[in-house]
Amino acid sequence: MVNAALGGQLFVGVGGHKLTVVEVDATYVKPVEVDHFLLQPGQTSSVLLKAGQTQGNFYLAARPFIAPNVSTDNTTATAIITYVTASGDPVSSSSSAPLMPSLPAFNDTSDAARFSQSLRSLASPEFPVNVPLQVDRHLFFTVGLGLLPCSSCPFNVTLAAAVNNISFVLPQTALLQAHYFNQSNVFTEDFPTAPQNMIDFTGQPPANPFTVRGTRVTKIPFNSTVQLVLQGTSLIGKENHPIHLHGFNFYVVGQGFGNYNNVTDPPSFNLVDPQERNTIGIPQGGWAAIRFRADNPGVWFMHCHLELHTMLGLDTAIVVDDGSTLDQSLIPPPLDLPPC
C-alpha cells in the first residue's frame, strides 16, 4: 500500500481483520500484527491479511492523522473487500453491511508514535543491518513553519516553511547540473550543521518566528557516515512532518517527543535492528534521528512530503562528493539530455 496523499498521514485498517506488517519502504521488517497501521505521505507498506472470517464484506478504511491545530477534512475513506467462493460467488449477500474497522482518532499522536516505534529490521544473515556505529558527520536540522516579510500581504507577512530557519529557494539552474559543471551563483555550500540559536524548539513559540530565504546545501565527503537529527518546531504550530531523503535509505535509530538531548537520548538509540526507510514521520512536537552512509555521489533533495510545506520551502539538499574511483563518481549527462 502507498500513501499518495498530498498532505495527510493516514491510519489504515480492515474491519474484522488483524493485519501483519512485513515491509516498509521496500525493506523487510520483523512481522508486526496490528489492528491498523500508519502511512505517512510517500511511505509504502506491505501487509498480510488472512481471509478467515465467516462474514463476507469488510471495509478497508483510511482516516487522516493530523495535528490538533490543523483544520482539514477528517472524513474516513473506504473501499469494500468481499469474500468470494472458489467459483467466484459472493460469500455474503450484497445487502450485508460491511464491517468497519476501529481506527484511532484523527489526532491520536500516541497511537501514531507507538506504531512507528514498533518497527524493526529483520537484521538476519540474509537481510543484514548496516547501520553506521561510528559517525563522521553530526547534523541537527530543525523543520517547521515560520514567516517571511511580505509588503503586499496582510499584516506584511506570509507563511513560510524552513529547515534550520532557511526557507529553500529553488534555483533556475538544476542543482545537479551546477554541481557537476562547477557553476557558480546557483547555490552555496554553507548550510548550517545546526541552528544558530538552540532554543526550546517545541515549547512556547519564540518572539521572532521569521525565517530567511536561500539556496544553501550541505556538502559531505564520499563514504562518510552521517547522523542527522530532525527536530520539529512550534514556531507557528506543532505538526507531524514526513521527511523524505532522495538517493539513500537510512536507519531510524531514535524517535521521541520534545527537544532532542544529545546527552540523554543517544544511549537509547537502536543500533541493532532499527527500521530502514526513505521517509520518516517526525513526531508532532518531537524528533527523529537517522543514520546513513553517504556512498551515492550527487545532489540529493531532502524535503517534507506534505506538498504545501515543500512549496513553502521546507526543503534542502545534500551534496555528496565523488569518491576516488570512476565507479564512485558521477557520470556525465548524456549528450541528448534536454536542458532544464
Contact 314, 277 (CB under 8 A): no
- The pTM of the full predicted model, rounded to 2 decimals, is 0.93
Contact 65, 106 (CB under 8 A): yes
What is the predicted pLDDT for the residue at 340? 67
**10-residue averages of pLDDT along the chain (340 residues):** 89 96 97 96 95 88 78 81 86 78 90 94 96 97 94 90 96 94 95 91 83 96 98 87 96 96 97 97 93 98 93 96 96 86
Contact 147, 236 (CB under 8 A): yes
Q: Where are the alpha helices (DSSP H) in the chain?
A: 109-117, 175-180, 307-311
> Cα 194 from chain centroid?
19
What is the predicted pLDDT for the residue at 71? 61
- 11-66 confidence digits (pLDDT tens): 999 999 999 999 999 999 999 999 999 999 999 999 999 998 887 889 999 999 88
What is the predicted pLDDT for the residue at 139? 98
Give Cβ neighbours of residue 83 (< 8 Å, ≥ 6 apart). 51, 53, 55, 56, 57, 90, 91, 92
What is the predicted pLDDT for the residue at 94? 62
Contact 228, 59 (CB under 8 A): no
Beta strands 212-214 and 275-277 are unpaired
Give Cβ neighbours of residue 253 (< 8 Å, ≥ 6 apart). 131, 227, 269, 270, 271, 274, 289, 290, 291
Contact 318, 300 (CB under 8 A): yes
> Cα 113 from chain centroid?
13
Residue 37 C-alpha cell reads as 497501521
Beta strands 166-168 and 57-65 are unpaired
